[in-house]
Amino acid sequence: MTVWRRWIFPILMVVVFGVIAASLAKLAFFPDSEGAPAHPSAGIADPVVAVERGSVVNEPELTGTVARDEQVAVRAEIEGTVTAVHVSGGEEVWAGQPLFTLKREYPAAVIDVHAPEAGRLGELALVAGQQVTVGAELVKLSSARYHVLSTVQPVQLYRLLGAPSEGTATITGGPAPFTCMGLTTQVADDGTTSVRCSVPVDQVVFPGLPVSLSIAVGTAEDVLVIPATAAKGGSGSGLVWVDAGDGETGTAW
């Protein structure tokens, strides 16, 4: 065993490490070049797309949310004294429901202030015996009406030129798609661009619901169809280079 430990094992280790070192040197300095291509095999070819006739549909699909319409201010129509308060703050009211009774001394008149539409009353601080002036805000009414609001990039307004006054709203997991009416575009002072339309009053919705809004702007039938990458300009007019087949630079149309 002494001979094996002193001589045989060390010699075997030297042989093994020598073989490994030689293999690494071969891979590093003398790679096998057999089968490697002498020249690059990749090539670049201009894509060719045949021009065909087809239909072009301009129907943007926008994402938005359901929101409650803005609050409505209920105002005094005459100057006088509040003689009766018929409702409480936070109460649900219907359109035309009497809210307050006002009395004017001269010329003498007693009128009821009615809810302009259905909704929920806000905080109410009006009490009987209180004096009010013409146009004074008596209470705010949160409308029972809703709308769909979608924020878009300003460049998308090009696709909405000539848009109809309605769109089709779809709520995932909700009712069947419904027509959203009174479609308008709005540009705020800070440049924020949005599309808004009104939800039908008989449609059950809730604030915050995500909505997909489809707007059928227009369709062109039986026209020449080319890839969008072959044209410059995306709305109204553009440039297309036509190859005359004579080897010269194409003409822009």
- Output the six-digit token pair for 93: 């009211």
Q: Is residue 85 part of a domain?
A: yes
Is the separation of the CB atoms in 211 and 66 below 8 Å? yes
Nearest Cα to Cα of residue 74 among 109, 124, 110: 124
Q: Say whether both 199 and 107 belong to one domain.
A: no
Q: Is residue 117 part of a domain?
A: yes
Q: Say whether both 107 and 194 belong to one domain.
A: no
Q: Say whether both 81 and 176 belong to one domain.
A: no
Q: Is residue 240 part of a domain?
A: no
Q: Is residue 162 part of a domain?
A: yes
Q: Say whether both 118 and 211 belong to one domain.
A: no
* Number of domains within the chain: 2
Q: Say whether both 79 and 191 belong to one domain.
A: no
In this predicted structure, the answer to whether residue 251 has a pLDDT above a threshold of 60 is: no
CA distance 57 to 46: 28
State the pLDDT at residue 129.
94
Nearest Cα to Cα of residue 164 among 179, 176, 149: 179
Mean pLDDT (whole number) for 209-223: 90
In this structure, what CATH number is given to the domain that contains residue 83?
Answer: 2.40.50.100
Q: Say whether both 65 and 152 belong to one domain.
A: yes
In this structure, what CATH number is given to the domain that contains residue 168?
Answer: 2.40.30.170
Q: Which of 121, 143, 165 is the last residue of a domain?
A: 143
Q: Is residue 123 part of a domain?
A: yes
- Output the six-digit token pair for 214: 């489809």
pLDDT in tens, 102-122: 999 999 999 999 999 999 999
pLDDT in tens, 10-66: 666 766 666 676 676 666 666 665 555 556 666 677 677 778 888 888 889 999 999
Q: Is residue 187 part of a domain?
A: yes
Q: Which domain holds residue 211?
A: 61-69+145-220
Q: Say whether both 167 and 129 belong to one domain.
A: no
- Output the six-digit token pair for 183: 């479609």
Q: Say whether both 162 and 65 belong to one domain.
A: yes
Going from the C-alpha of 78 to that of each of 112, 134, 253, the distances in angstroms are 10, 5, 67
Q: Is residue 155 part of a domain?
A: yes
Q: Say whether both 65 and 189 belong to one domain.
A: yes
Q: Say whether both 208 and 193 belong to one domain.
A: yes
Q: Is residue 235 part of a domain?
A: no
Which class for 240: exposed (0-12), middle (13-18), buried (19 or more C-beta within 10 A)?
Answer: middle
With H, G, I as helix, E, B as strand and everything else as coil, classify residue 154. helix
- Residues with Cβ < 8 Å from 80, sequence gap 6 or more? 102, 103, 104, 105, 109, 131, 132
